[in-house]
Copies of this chain bind each other. A is one copy, B any other.
Amino acid sequence: MDNNSNLTNSAPGGLPRTEIAQLGEFGLIKRLTKDLKYSNRSTCKGVGDDAAVMSFGNKQVLMTSDMLLEGVHFNLEYVPLKHLGYKAAVVNFSDIYAMNATPTQLTVSLGISRRFSVEQIEELYSGIRLACERYGVDLVGGDTCASMTGLTISITCIGQADKNQIVYRNGAHENDLICVSGNLGSAYLGLQLLERERQVMNVNPNAVPQFEGKEYLLERQLKPEARKDIIQALAKAGIKPTAMMDISDGLSSELMHICEQSGVGCAIYEDKIPIDYQAAVLAEEMNLNIVTCALSGGEDYELLFTCNLSDYEKLIPLDDVYLIGHITKPEYGKVLVGRNGEELQLRAQGWQAFGNES
């Protein structure tokens, strides 16, 4: 690195130009983090899981970061600021729970344009603080600065766990059971519903949004919860998952991450994927394939995990946990078994930020 500035360096001369959309989010991260080396003994796990893991004294400390940008991740036309704050915090807690750990501290950095008043930022913060209270997490710092346009929220969450308690993505083995919590596709359908009603209101400002009988879908989109209860239930039942992650980009994409990092294949069954009744009804109404919504919808913040076959008896009594398939040899591939027994290769059609960019 030379220390002389170059006034015309904003488009570095001589560099080729590859569009980020060509690589996608995961491709870009892979390229940026290639050959990273770690020099601190306290670093146990870096890039490549729901959270980084560090070892301080006799405790494992976890860290995860998420950034939310107005116009990309949220639309303030239909997302109340308090809900946005709540969700921004909860999605970070979800990443920590997905490592079988407990979130403990949070920092919040905000970039705020002049469009926002102090009271609006307080609304946002009240949602963050409510989430912190409910999940027992301490808001310990951050940064607040002016932005040229829109609202930027960047949150980092710290968690902790005993060393032997942490669950990574790479521990799935052949014959392990594949499970998910809750149901899938509802958050995506909630978003479709909000978008549809927004468009109606753009045409006719006096229209009344049609949300009756679909309140659950809105809640799933606007106020997701992290599955602390599932982590607690698993611990109580004496089940330690072999691999786990939260479903933020869609079941299909997340399951592929687990398979790739664990070096295994999988088979999941279409008719075992848990789907909510309201989601099925709205998908029908909007002419969407509900299974595609469940596989690729994203933002459900449910837990996807694998566990040893010997845990089957302990698993079955658990509330809101569903067995959807099993881990196979890698050569079997990643397979979705349809209702009529046909086998399809899973594809990652999760939410791809750079592909969708307008």
Contacts and interface: CB of A to CB of B under 8 A. Distances in A.
A51 to B, nearest CB: 7
Interface string A149-162: 11010101010100
Contact of A119 (B3, B17, B107, B354): B17
Interface string A42-58: 11011100011010111
A105 B42 contact: yes
A125 B33 CA distance: 9
Contacts of A56: 56-57, 59, 61, 160
B47 A145 contact: no
A211 interface: yes
Task: Tell me the number of copies of this protein.
Answer: 2
Contacts of A1: 82-83, 86, 127, 130, 223
A11 interface: yes
B104 A43 contact: yes
A209 to B, nearest CB: 5
A333 interface: no
Contact of A23 (B66, B118, B147): B118
A342 interface: no
A152 B152 contact: yes
Interface string A1-20: 10111110111100111111
A50 to B, nearest CB: 9
A344 to B, nearest CB: 29
Contacts of A123: 12, 15
A145 B25 contact: yes
A7 B78 contact: yes
Interface residues of A, number: 117
A348 interface: no
Interface string A227-263: 0000000000000000000000000000000000000
B107 A63 contact: yes
A70 B39 CA distance: 31
Nearest to A23: B118
Interface in A66-89: 66-67, 69-73, 76-83, 86
A141 B5 contact: no
Contact of A20 (B43, B108, B114, B356): B114
A203 interface: no
A104 to B, nearest CB: 5
B149 A148 contact: yes
Interface string A115-127: 0111111110101
A353 interface: yes
13 contacts: A3-B218, A9-B80, A10-B79, A20-B146, A32-B122, A39-B136, A42-B104, A47-B139, A67-B111, A69-B147, A146-B353, A146-B354, A154-B154
In the A-B complex, the 5 residue pairs with the smallest Cβ-Cβ separation, listed nearest first, are A57-B57, A154-B154, A52-B140, A10-B76, A56-B59
Given A28-B118, A114-B357, 19 more contacts: A1-B82, A5-B218, A7-B77, A7-B78, A7-B197, A12-B80, A17-B117, A21-B114, A29-B144, A54-B158, A56-B57, A57-B57, A67-B111, A67-B154, A69-B152, A70-B148, A144-B353, A148-B149, A152-B154
